[in-house]
Structure 1
C-alpha cells in the first residue's frame, strides 16, 4: 500500500549531495522519505572539486555508476603557488581511489536525485516555508502542501533555514567570498595530467596573492572557471567589482595568467560573487532532526571538501535518525559531537595552511595569523574581520 505523500517517515529538505545522501541512507533501511528540492536556476552553474575520497561514499550509496560523464571531468591532481613563487603539484593518480573530479553541480545534483528516485525516494519540487513540532511530529508547509513526519533533515545549505527556525544559530568565522567567471578557451590546451600536449588541463590551480588567492579549474564543458577569493570587505580595494578590474588583478598573477594566456582568452563579460565563508550551526541536531552538509558546517573552499563533507554528514545524519528511531536517546548528541570535532579539526588544518603563506602583511593574511575557531564563553567564534568591524564590500550571491 502506498503511503500518503503528505505523511512520510522522514522529510528531507534540500536536494543537493547532503540531502540525497541522507535520503538514500534512510530509504535503504526501509524508511519512506520525501526529498524536497528547489527547481534549478536557469543559467546558474557552480563548479566544485570532488576529492578521490568521495568515491567510496558514492559507491556505498549506490550512485557512483549513475553519474553521467557530462556532469564531471577528471581531476588528476592540484597545482599550487603558495608560500613562494614556485609551482608545486600533488598527484591523485597514485592514490588508492584514483583521480578526483571537477563537477558541474547542476547536472551532478540532478543525477543524484534521479538515483534517489530509483531507490524509492519520493521527490517534491518546492521549498519548506515553515516547520513546527506538533504531537511528536514535524508539521511543515512545503510550497502549498502541508506535510507531517516524525523526523526531519535540514540540507538547505549554509543558511540552515530549518535549523534556525528550530532555535539553532549559524556562527560565522569569516566572510570569505569568491568572485568568479567562466573563461572560454579559444585554442586547444594541453594533454597529460599537468599540461604537456593537446587536450585540456586536468588539474586545478591555486595561486596566492596579497588580497587572497586565485583558483582555476576546467569545467566538463571544456571551459574554465576562474575565481578570485578574498574577504567580502576587501573586494572593492582589490579592484574585483568589475570585469575590467578583475581581469587586471588576474593579469598581475604569474601562474593563473600563464594558463589563461595559453588559450588567448579575453576578459569575461560578467562576474558572480559567491559566499565562501566558514561557519557552523549550533546545535547541528536535536530530538527528531539533524542538519547535514553546509546546513551543519561550512568549510573554506581552500580545503576542496564541500561535496565530500556533504555526503559524509548526510550519511551520518541519517544514521543518527535511524538510531534514534530504534530507541537510542543519545544518537543526536553523538552526531552533533562528531560534526563539532570534524569542524574543529578543519579549523586547525586551515590555520596551518594559511600560516604557510608569509610573504604579505596585508589584511587578508594578517587576519589569518591569529587563532580562529575557539569559542568564547558566549559560544561564539571570533570573526576574521578588521578591528573596526567594517561592513562587507560586496554583496554575496547564494550557492547551495
Structure 2
C-alpha cells in the first residue's frame, strides 16, 4: 500500500441526500471514523439562478428523521416554506384536500433543493467528512481487508468500506455485478414558472402541492421559494414521445386541458423549457456485498407519487450506517439485516402503489393506467 494514498474507513460515492445523510449518521455513532464523499459534479452554487433543480415537499414526519440525525435545529434555520397539506384530483375531477393540521408532526416543507442539498453537504463537512468534488471512480479492486479505488483525477484511494449513493445509476453496485431491475418506464417532464404577476384563482390549493390525473398520466405542481412553482407531468417514455411532450407547444396544450393545475400558472412566466427526467421504479437484486452497500435511490427508487424520495434517503441512511459499523467490526450480519430491510420496504411500497393507482378508474382504456393497475411490471 502506498503510504501517500488517502486512507479512509468509509468512502461514500455520491454527495446527494442519501450519501450525506449516511455520513452524518455514521459520524453520530462513531465520530472517530475517517469518511470521505466522492462527487462527480462541482460544488453547489445556490446563487446561480440559471440552475433549476426539481424540488420536493418534505412530509411532516420527516422531522423525526432529521432529529435522529442530529440536524433538526440546523434544518429549521434554513427557513424553508411551510407546507400545510396536499390537494389531489385523483379518481375524481374534484379536489380532495389533505391538511397536515391533522398530523401529529405538524406541517411539512417545500424545499429549495439546491439549498437543501448544500445544507446536507455543509452538515457533513461540519462533522469532518472530507469531500472530493469533480471526481469519479473509474475502477475498484477488492483486496483482502480494503478497497482500492482509482479516480479520474489520478488519485488512488484506500477504504475499508464503500457506500454506493450514486442514485439510479447505482454505478458502484453495477461494478459489483448487482443487477438493476426496472419495473416501468416512467418519466417526468418538468417546467419552472415565476408567479410574480400571477393573481388567478388557485381553487383552494394555495401554496400547497397539487396532483391531478388525466388520460395519459398525472400532473404535479408545488410552490417553491422566490415566487416560483415547479410543474411536472408524469407519464411513460413511449407515451411522452408519442405526444411530443418534450416540445413546449405540446406540453402547454395538454396543460391547458387540466382543470386545476393550469390555474396555478395562468399568466405566469416560464423560467425553463420542458426538462425530462427519469422517474421509474427500480431496485437492485443485491444492495450489499463484501464490505459495500447501496443506499438511497441506488438501492431502490420509488414512483414520485409516493413522495418518499428524500424521506426514504434520510430514514434508510441510518440503517445503512448501522450495517456499515457492524461490518467494520467484523460482523456481516448487519449487511444481511440491511438487505432484508430494503427488500421489505420495497415490497410494502409496491403494494401501496398498486392500491393508490387502483383508485383512479376513469381511464380504463388508457395504456398508462392499464400498466399501473396491472399486477405485473412491464417494460417496452
Would you say same fold, with TM above 0.5?
A: yes
Gaps of 5+ in 1: 196-200, 373-381, 390-400
Matches within 5 A, 1:113-262: 113-125=121-133, 126-144=135-153, 145-187=155-197, 194=204, 201-261=206-266
Comparing 117-126 and 10-19, the one that deviates more? 117-126
**Contact 1:71/1:105 (<8 A) preserved:** no
1:193–1:32 CA distance, 2 compared to 1 (3 A): farther
How far did residue 119 of structure 1 move?
A: 1.2
Alignment pair present for 1:294 and 2:294: no
Distance 1:191 1:150 in 2: 57
Q: Distance in 2 between matches of 1:253 and 1:5?
A: 58
Q: In the alignment, which residue of structure 2 is the partner of 1:334?
A: 337
Conserved 8 A contact 1:71-1:107:
no
Kindly state the Cα deviation for residue 205 of structure 1 after the two structures are TM-superposed.
0.3
Q: Which of 304, 307, 320 is matched with 2:307 structurally?
A: 304
Q: 1:36 to 1:269 in 2, by over 3 A?
A: closer
Q: Provide closer, same or farther for how the CA distance between residues 211 and 35 of structure 1 changes in structure 2, counting only shifts above 3 A.
A: same
Matched, 1:364 2:368: yes
Aligned length: 367
Q: Equivalents in 2 of 1:241, 1:190: separation in Å? A: 26
User: Which residue of structure 1 aligns with residue 68 of structure 2?
Assistant: 60
**Structure 2 runs not aligned, ≥5 long:** none
More displaced, 180-189 or 215-224?
180-189
Change (3 A) 1:137 1:269: closer
Which moves more between the two structures, 3-12 or 235-244?
3-12
Richer in helix (by share): 2
Q: 1:267, CA displacement in angstroms?
A: 5.8
Deviation at 1:13, TM superposition (A): 0.8
SS at match of 1:141: strand
User: For residues 81-139 of structure 1, what are the alpha-carbon distances to aligned partners after superposition, in whole Å with 9 as ceiling and x for unaligned?
Assistant: 00011100111133122111121222211111111111121122122222220222111
Partner residue in 1 for 2:323: 320
User: RMSD in angstroms over aligned alpha carbons?
Assistant: 2.2
Provide Cα deviations, 1:251-282, integer angstroms capped at 9, x if missing partner.
00001012222xx2256651100100000011
CA distance in 2 between counterparts of 1:5 and 1:45 reads 35
